[in-house]
């Protein structure tokens, strides 16, 4: 969020009630809500519409925590819960917020966050791998369905865990900081990278410079 504000992009931040956020400003508006249910997603879309400030992009960062374990050792309800937390809220967000972007009648951008577990199965992280693989296909399907509307759908995949404050002691050299990721997302919204799945691996290269690729 701060990376977008620093580049002069106004932001509508969606956060659950009680989550700390910076004070609202002319460039930042805060809407409390979520997309955990159909009703909640519809209410969120209505709240955004009432701002009378149609967004030209959505960055969807949705998901919950995870307890490692083998798929074969857990009841089916465990995987169902992971899909309920990490996959279906993305679909509900798309169902109710994508129309807001399409209504603009101008190019718009929808970015779903993904992680490295969709690329290969991780021992002990099977639930996460299955949910992330499903999310990647959801992103590709939404992209195809929205082609005629002017909304470009992409998945931004971070190829390593984040170097957050609580993981500094075990972070590897490939782990990016949240600030690094935020800058890459800002570049993506500015026009860097047009492929359906954009991977960020700090060991290799950053995204192309904005507007250096054919859109």
pLDDT tens digits, 64-102: 888 889 999 999 999 999 999 999 999 999 999 999 999
- Domain contains 29: no
| E-state strands within the chain | 11-15, 28-32, 57-60, 108-114, 151-158, 197-200
Tell me which residue range forms the domain holding 148: 55-200
- Domain contains 7: no
Q: What is the DSSP letter of 209?
A: P
| E-state strands within 33-143 | 57-60, 108-114
pLDDT cut 90: percent of the chain above it: 54
Minimal CA–CA distance to 112: which of 155, 78, 77? 155
Instruction: Report the number of distinct structural domains present in the chain.
Output: 1
- Domain contains 187: yes
- Domain with residue 93: its CATH number is 3.40.50.720
Residue 214 pLDDT:
36
Residue 212 pLDDT:
43
Rounded Cα gap, residues 149 and 157, in angstroms: 24
């Amino acid at each position: 969020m701060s990376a977008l504000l620093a580049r002069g992009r106004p932001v509508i931040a969606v956060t659950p009630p009680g989550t700390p956020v910076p004070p609202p400003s002319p460039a930042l508006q805060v809407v409390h809500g979520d997309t955990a249910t159909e009703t909640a997603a519809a209410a969120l879309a209505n709240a955004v519409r009432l701002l009378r400030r149609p967004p030209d992009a959505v960055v969807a960062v949705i998901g919950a925590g995870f307890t490692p374990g083998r798929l074969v050792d857990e009841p089916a309800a465990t995987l169902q819960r992971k899909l309920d937390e990490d996959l279906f809220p993305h679909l509900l967000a798309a169902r109710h917020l994508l129309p807001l972007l399409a209504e603009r009648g101008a190019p718009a951008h929808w970015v779903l966050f993904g992680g490295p577990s969709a690329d290969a199965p991780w021992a002990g992280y099977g639930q996460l791998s299955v949910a992330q693989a499903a999310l990647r296909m959801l992103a590709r399907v939404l992209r195809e369905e929205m082609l005629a509307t002017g909304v470009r759908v992409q998945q931004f995949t971070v190829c390593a865990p984040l170097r957050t404050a609580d993981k500094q002691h075990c972070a590897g050299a490939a782990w990016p900081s949240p600030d690094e990721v935020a800058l890459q997302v800002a570049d993506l919204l500015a026009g860097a990278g047009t492929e359906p799945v954009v991977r960020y691996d700090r060991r290799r290269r950053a995204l192309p410079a904005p507007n250096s690729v054919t859109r």
